[in-house]
Structure 1
Amino acid sequence: MDAAAKLKRSISRQLSSGAARVWRQLSMEPSSLDPTPRDGVEAGDGSGAGSAAALLAVPENLDATMRLLFAACQGDVAGVEELLGDGVDVDSIDLDGRTALHIAACEGQGEVVRLLLEWKANMNARDRWGSTPAADAKHYGHFEVYNLLRARGAKVPKQKKTPMAVSNPKEVPEYELNPLELEFRRGEEGHYVAKWYGSKVFVKILDKDNFSDANSINEFKHKLTLLEKARHPNLVQFVGAVTQNVPMMIVSEYHQKGDLASYLEIKGRLQPYKAIRFALDIARGLNYLHECKPDRIIHGNLSPKSIVRDDEGKLKVAGFGSLSLIKVSEDKSQMDQTTSKFNSIYIAPEMYINGTFDRSVDVFAFGLILYEMIEGAPAFHPKTPEEAAKMICLEGMRPPFKNKPKYYPDDLRELIQECWDPTPSVRPTFEEIIVRLNKIYANCTKQTRWRDTFKLPWVRPEKA
C-alpha cells in the first residue's frame, strides 16, 4: 500500500465531531449489549431507525466512515461497494466502536453483510459494549444473517454485566475506555503495564469481590470522580477506567523510573538540596489535593511507595482516593469500619487508633518521608513497619536525628518536628510548608554555589 493509500485509509477512520453528532441524531441501531433498546420500537417492524434513516438523504457533512455506516444501515449495496472501492476501510468505526458489519447485522441487511464479508470485514469486531455483529443479529432476530456469520466462524460473546453497568448509554461516564484499546505487556497481582494508543500506561485490574454491595460501588464511583478532576503536574494523571466491561480497570500514566521507595533503597541518604527539591514536589501535589473545591481530598495513605518519579526526575503523588473514608464533619473524616487496618510507619496516630482526623494526617506522613530522605533510612529502621508504627502512634516516640547538623539546613529539622507533632493543629499546612521549603532551598543553592566556586589552592581537582 503506497503512502497516499495509507493516508487515505487513516483519514477514513477519523470522526469529525459534527459527523458524530449527526450519527447519534439518526438513532441508528444500537448494540445488542447496549442496555437501552430503541425508543419503544421492536426490531423488524419497519418503523425502526433504518426506516427513519431511509427517508433522509445522506447529510453532506458526513465523512467517508459515516457514509459507509449510513449506507450499510440503509441496505445500499451499491453505495457500500463504491465507498469500499474508493479506499474506505471496511472496519471503520463510529464513536461507539461499531463497524458497518455491526450496523448491517442489526438491520438484517443480508446482502450488505455478504458484501462486507467478501471485503474481509472483521466478523468478531467488538463495540464499546463488547458486542459483535453476530450477537447483534441474534438479538434482533435476524437469524439468516446470524447463521451466515456463524457459518463463517463468527463468535458470540457471553454477556457479562459489571456492578456499574448503566441503564442508558448516555450515562456512560466520560472517562470510560474501550478495553480492546489496551495492549497488555506484563503485570502481577492485579497491576499491569499496557500500551494505549502507543503510550505506556499503568493498569489496575479490580477484584470483583470488592463490589459486593451498593456502598462499595458508590465509593468506587466517588473515587473515579476524584481521580478525574485532580489535575496537577505533581500528581499521577488519571487516564480513564473500564466500568462497563468485565474486568473493571483503572488506567493511569506510567512512569518507568519507579517509585521513591525503590529510589531511596538504591541511593540511601540524599543531599539536602535534592531532598528539599523532592519535598517541594510532594508538597505541591498534596497542597493541590487539600485545596480542591468543593471537597478537599485527603490522601490518607501517603508513603514513598505512593510517590513516583517521572522521566525528568520530578516526583508525582499517586494512590490518592484509595481509602474508604466517612465524612464526620466539614473538616473531619474517619476510616470506614469495613476497611482492613493497615500498618504503616507513615500513618498518623489519630488514624492508627481509628479516630477522627483531618488533612493534617498527610502532613504527618510527609514529615516522616522528608526525614527518611535526609537520614537515608525509614524511621526506627530495622524495626518492622508494625513495630515502628506502634512506637510512633501508641508510645509517642519519634526517630532520632542521626546525621550531622550540616545535613539539616536552618529550619529543616524544626519543620520535620512540627509535621510529625502528635497534635494535629500544630502541624503546618502544605501551603505554609511550601513557603518554608522554598526559603530553605534558596539558602542551600547559595551555599552549594559558594562551595563550587571557592576552591582552596592546595586541594587538587578530582579526576574524571
Structure 2
Amino acid sequence: MSSDTSSGGDSTGSKVGVGGGGSTSVPPPLKEKQKEKEKARVSRTSSILWHAHQNDAGAVRKLLEEDRTLVHARDYDNRTPLHVASLHGWIEVAKCLIDYGADVNAQDRWKNTPLADAEGAKKHSMIELLKSYGGLSYGQNGSHFEPKPVPPPQPNKCDWEIDPSELDFSTSAMIGKGSFGEILKACWRGTPVAVKRILPSLSDDRLVIQDFRHEVNLLVKLRHPNIVQFLGAVTEKKPLMLITEYLRGGDLHQYLKEKGSLSPSTSINFALDIARGMAYLHNEPNVIIHRDLKPRNVLLVNSSADHLKVGDFGLSKLIKVQNTHDVYKMTGETGSYRYMAPEVFKHRRYDKKVDVFSFAMILYEMLEGDPPLANLEPYEAAKYVSEGNRPTFRSKGYIPELRELTEQCWAHDMNQRPPFLDILKRLEKIKENLPTDHHWNIFNT
C-alpha cells in the first residue's frame, strides 16, 4: 500500500479534532473510509493494467473517463499501462493512454521506458508512434542505456562451455518448437543429448539473450535425480544453444494422451517423482519457483516410464528467502493457463505455492486421463479457476486420501496449500495403504 494513506492522505484528516483539544487524530469511521478508498484504488489500478494487457481500448477509455489519474497507475514493478501496451504492440490502447496524458518516458523498476520495451519486443509500429510523441529509449532494453546487445554469460571461460563443432546434428530429430527456438535431439561426444537452440534471427535480441542467460545460470546450479541434468551451453558463438541430457520416454503430456487415465499406483509413483524434484527446487533459502509446471515439462526417463524428471526452467525464478512467509512481486500470467494458480492469473503477489497448485492439476490429469477443464479453452479455464471453481472428480481412482490431498494442493488460499516435503510424506503414506494394482483393473477396462 502507498505510504500516503497512513498519514491521512485525505486533506480532511487533519481538520477533524476530538474533544476540541486541537488533536489531529483520525476517528475510526474516517480510517475505515480511507481503507475502502485505498482498496478501490488498488482494484482500479489492477483493472486498467489488465485491460491494457488484454488490448481492450474501450475498457481502458471507460476507466480513464471515470478517473483520469489511472493513466499513471503502476504495478509492483513500477510499470504503467503504457509499458504494458508498448510491450505487446497494442496501438489503439497506447493512443488512448497518450490522449489521456500518459507519460511516454515513464520508467519502470528496471529504468525501461515504454519505447525501450517496444524496441525489445520489436514492435515497429509502436516504436514509430512513441517516437512521434517524444518517446526516448532508456533502460536495460533501451538504446540510450545499452547501445550493444547484452553479451551471453561467459563467467571465466566456464568448463561447461561447449564448442558447437562437438555437436553432431547429422541424425537430429525435432523434439519441440517454440517462438524463440527449437529443441533437437543431437549427439555430443557420442552421447544422445537434447539441444535447445535459439533461432538465429533472435540471437541479437536483448530480451531473448537475457532469458537464455537466466536459464543457463539457473541450470548450472541444479543437481538432483528428478531434475533434467544440464550438460553445457554454447554462449560464445551463434546460434546460442543449451544442452541437457536426452530422456527417451518423451514428456508426460504425450504419455497421458496415449495411455489415458493411469492407475492410482502409477499416478502416485509419478507424483512422488515430481514432488521430489519440486521439494529440491523449493528448498530454502535459495528457492527456485518453476512457474510453468505442466505435463509437457515433466519428462520420462525411458519408455518403461519408471522414472520422471522436471525440466524446462525458462520461466523459473531464483529467489533468496529472508522469511518463510515471504511473497514476491513477480510477473502475473506467467506460465500455461490451464495449470495456472489463480493468484498468478489475477496478477496478485505470489510465492512458491503456485507450483503446488500446478502439481494438483497434473495429479488430477493423471487420474482422470483428460487435462483439467478440457471442455474450456486454456484462458477460459484459468479464468474459471480464478473465480473459485475447480475441475470435477469423476475417476474411481480418486481414493479419499488422494482427493483430499489434491483439494488441499489447489486451495484458493495459497497459505492452505501444503509444501512439497509434506506432500511427499502424505503420498508415501497413501502408497503404503494402497491395494495392489489388480484391485483397480475393473475401473480401467
With structure 1 as the length reference, what TM-score do the two structures score? Answer: 0.56
Counterparts of 1:336 and 1:297, CA distance in 2: 15
Q: Is the 8 A contact 1:280 1:434 kept in 2?
A: yes
Q: Secondary structure at the match of 2:196?
A: strand
User: Structure 1 counterpart of 2:168, which letter?
Assistant: E
Which residue does 1:433 correspond to in 2?
Answer: 423
Distance verdict in 2 for CA 1:449–1:318, change over 3 Å: closer
Q: Are positions 1:186 and 2:173 aligned together?
A: yes
Is 247-256 or 275-284 further displaced after alignment?
A: 247-256
Counterparts of 1:216 and 1:210, CA distance in 2: 7
User: Structure 1 counterpart of 2:379, which letter?
Assistant: E
Q: Is the 8 A contact 1:302 1:346 kept in 2?
A: yes
Counterparts of 1:239 and 1:413, CA distance in 2: 38
Which residue does 1:164 correspond to in 2?
Answer: 152
Q: Is the 8 A contact 1:327 1:333 kept in 2?
A: no
**What is the aligned-residue identity percentage?**
42
Which residue does 2:257 correspond to in 1?
Answer: 265
Counterparts of 1:232 and 1:220, CA distance in 2: 21
1:289-328 matched pairs, under 5 angstroms: 289-291=281-283, 294-311=285-302, 313=305, 314-323=307-316
Q: Is the 8 A contact 1:325 1:334 kept in 2?
A: no
C-alpha deviation, 1:355, in angstroms? 1.9
Counterparts of 2:267 and 2:378, CA distance in 1: 22
Distance verdict in 2 for CA 1:247–1:197, change over 3 Å: same
User: Structure 2 counterpart of 1:335, which letter?
Assistant: M
Q: Are positions 1:357 and 2:350 aligned together?
A: yes
Distance verdict in 2 for CA 1:322–1:385, change over 3 Å: same
1:324-363 matched pairs, under 5 angstroms: 331-336=326-331, 343-363=336-356
1:58-457 matched pairs, under 5 angstroms: 163-164=151-152, 171-184=156-169, 185-187=172-174, 189=177, 190-207=182-199, 209=202, 212-213=205-206, 217=209, 220-291=212-283, 294-311=285-302, 313=305, 314-323=307-316, 331-336=326-331, 343-393=336-386, 395-404=387-396, 407-444=397-434, 447-448=435-436
Q: Is the 8 A contact 2:198 2:240 kept in 1?
A: yes
Q: Is the 8 A contact 1:226 1:321 kept in 2?
A: no
C-alpha deviation, 1:175, in angstroms? 1.8
Q: Secondary structure at the match of 1:284?
A: helix
Counterparts of 2:388 and 2:426, CA distance in 1: 26
Counterparts of 1:216 and 1:259, CA distance in 2: 25
Q: Is the 8 A contact 2:273 2:309 kept in 1?
A: yes
Residues 281-326 of structure 1: per-residue CA shift (max 9 Å, x gap)? 00000000000x5421000000000001012521110012534689
Q: Secondary structure at the match of 2:359?
A: helix
C-alpha deviation, 1:408, in angstroms? 2.1
Q: Is the 8 A contact 2:291 2:354 kept in 1?
A: yes
Counterparts of 2:285 and 2:204, CA distance in 1: 27
Q: Secondary structure at the match of 2:249?
A: coil
C-alpha deviation, 1:409, in angstroms? 2.5
Counterparts of 2:439 and 2:308, CA distance in 1: 27
With structure 2 as the length reference, what TM-score do the two structures score? Answer: 0.58
User: Structure 1 counterpart of 2:436, which letter?
Assistant: T
Q: Secondary structure at the match of 1:411?
A: helix
C-alpha deviation, 1:210, in angstroms? 6.9
C-alpha deviation, 1:233, in angstroms? 0.7
Distance verdict in 2 for CA 1:164–1:251, change over 3 Å: same
Which residue does 2:121 correspond to in 1?
Answer: none
Distance verdict in 2 for CA 1:448–1:328, change over 3 Å: closer
User: Structure 2 counterpart of 1:332, which letter?
Assistant: V
Residues 25-81 of structure 1: per-residue CA shift (max 9 Å, x gap)? xxxxxxxxxxxxxxxxxxxxxxxxxxxxxxxxxxxxxxxxxxxxxxxxxxxxxxxxx
Q: Secondary structure at the match of 2:337?
A: coil
Distance verdict in 2 for CA 1:230–1:385, change over 3 Å: same
Q: Is the 8 A contact 2:288 2:316 kept in 1?
A: no
C-alpha deviation, 1:376, in angstroms? 1.1
Q: Which one has the largest radius of gyration?
A: 1
Q: Is the 8 A contact 1:328 1:334 kept in 2?
A: no
Is 427-436 or 354-363 further displaced after alignment?
A: 354-363
Counterparts of 2:243 and 2:328, CA distance in 1: 27
Distance verdict in 2 for CA 1:289–1:177, change over 3 Å: same
Counterparts of 2:288 and 2:173, CA distance in 1: 31
User: Structure 2 counterpart of 1:428, which letter?
Assistant: P
Count residues with an aligned counterpart: 281
Q: Is the 8 A contact 1:298 1:362 kept in 2?
A: yes
Q: Give ranges in structure 1 of 5+ residues lacking alignment.
A: 1-160, 453-464
Q: Is the 8 A contact 1:327 1:334 kept in 2?
A: no
Q: Give ranges in structure 2 of 5+ residues lacking alignment.
A: 1-148, 441-445
Distance verdict in 2 for CA 1:433–1:341, change over 3 Å: closer
Counterparts of 1:433 and 1:222, CA distance in 2: 29
Residues 302-351 of structure 1: per-residue CA shift (max 9 Å, x gap)? 000000101252111001253468989763334347xx855521010111
